[in-house]
Every structure is written in structure tokens, then in C-alpha cells.
Amino acid sequence: MKDVWSLFYEGIKCEQNVKFELNEPFLDLLSSFLQGKLPEKFALGQGQVFSLDGDAADDSDLILYDRQHTPRLLVGKRQLVPAETAGVTMQTLEVLTAQLLREEARQIRQVRRLQKLTQKSFTGGLQLVSTHPHTMGVIVARTAEISLEEIAQVLEAEQSAWPETERVSAVFVVGVGVVIYRTEQTGEVRFFPLADSKLTTIASGEDTIAFLLLFLCSYLNSIEIIPPNLMPLMSYANFQA
């Protein structure tokens, strides 16, 4: 099994070395890299996430959304994705700085604060027990002007007063490493923080993109999307006689 994983990591690094050395926008390179590697039920695009109460976040660089249950809603080339079907929102940076990290964390918070209002379908008058999965927020940078430890410090300070459900789950810097939540007592790496979770650093070096892929796929495979009921949007329509 160890040899299999070694081959996987080597394969990702070879592809990474070809793709990410190109002189093209990092957002385009990352999008191209992830296309075809995500679980089949999820698609990837740029646009805005909105809630059925009419609220919407600013544009997300990349949204990983449920392919089957997301209607094709476009404003120009920008896609509108219901909060219910957004599995992951991602912000990308060519060069990560402390100030840009704060700004991207606030953008992710906008998405994570959106309400998922569609209820699970009813059977025999009883609502099935189920809850919406959280939309995970991730930042990915091509390079960084600050260290992984400084990223953790800046993020901790920025998010200290935020609810745990609105925080960034992880920051990946290509070729350097990852800043992620871990529960100290158990050593468990988490998708989302708990009260006793702390931001920690992993110097994953050339394996960082492979870590990103495994992190995203593991989360997407663990969630069940509740399809959105878009009828509440009718109340916001301005009908003309």
C-alpha cells in the first residue's frame, strides 16, 4: 500500500510541475488541475453563492457544487449557485500577504454565513431527520510572503470572534504547506474547528497539491446534499402585467 501512495504522490507532483510552472493565472491553472479529479457528482465553476432569502455573497473564485442538483443559472458568464448545493468555496491568490489573507477570509465568511433554507422532504407528515452539510471554505495560494506560522497567527487573530461555522477551514500554499485545524488531544485533523481545535501547520512541501486534492475529495465524499427548493425565489420576482 505504501508503494501505491508513493506512486500517487509522485504522479501528482509530476503533473503539478508541468501545470503550475506555466505563466498563466493561478486561478486558471488550479481550475484546470482540479477538473476531472473531483468526485463525479461535483462540478467546479466561478460565480456567486446565494440563499433562498435573497441574500448573496460576493464572487467566489471557485465553487465546488453538486452537479446533479444545481440548476444552470447564469448572469453573463457568472454562475449563481444555491447555498444548498455549494460544497466548497475557494479563494485563490498569486501571492498571499497578511492583508490579502484577511480579505479572502472575510469573503469566505460571507459564503459560510448564507442560510440553507430548503427542508428535507416530508414522508407521512413527518420530516426526515437530516441537516444541510456546511459549505467548506479554503484558500489556495501560489506563493506567500509570510510563513505558515504567520498565516496561522493572522488567521487566528482575524477569526477569533467569529463563530466556528464561519471560519476558513484551511490555507494551502503550493510547494510550502498547509495551515489547518487539528484537535490537540487526539491529533485529529478536522474539516471544521471545534472549541478545542487549534490552527496548526504541516510543511507538506511538494505534496501540498496532493494534500489539497485529498482534503477536498474526502469532504465532498462525506456529505449529502439536500436539493434546493427554488420556489421561494418566486416571491422576489417583479411580475409585469
Please give the Cα distance from 167 to 154 (Å, whole number).
13
pLDDT in tens, 117-145: 888 664 444 444 458 899 999 999 999 99
Please tell me the predicted confidence (pLDDT) of residue 106: 98
The pTM of the full predicted model, rounded to 2 decimals, is: 0.89
Other CB atoms within 10 Å distance of the CB of residue 55: 13
Please tell me the predicted confidence (pLDDT) of residue 129: 43
Please tell me the predicted confidence (pLDDT) of residue 6: 76
Please tell me the predicted confidence (pLDDT) of residue 124: 45
Q: Which has the closest alpha carbon to 27: 104, 107, 92, 105? A: 92
pLDDT in tens, 183-210: 888 888 999 998 888 999 999 998 999 9
Please tell me the predicted confidence (pLDDT) of residue 36: 84
Please tell me the predicted confidence (pLDDT) of residue 238: 55
Q: Which has the closest alpha carbon to 86: 120, 136, 52? A: 136
Domain residue ranges of the chain, discontinuous segments joined by +: 2-117+125-228
Residue 209, SS3 per DSSP: helix
For the chain, list residues with pLDDT below 70: 1-2, 4-5, 9, 15-20, 22, 120-130, 235-241
Please tell me the predicted confidence (pLDDT) of residue 125: 46
In this structure, are residues 79 and 73 in contact, taking their beta carbons and an 8 Å threshold?
yes
Residue 30, SS3 per DSSP: helix
Please tell me the predicted confidence (pLDDT) of residue 241: 42
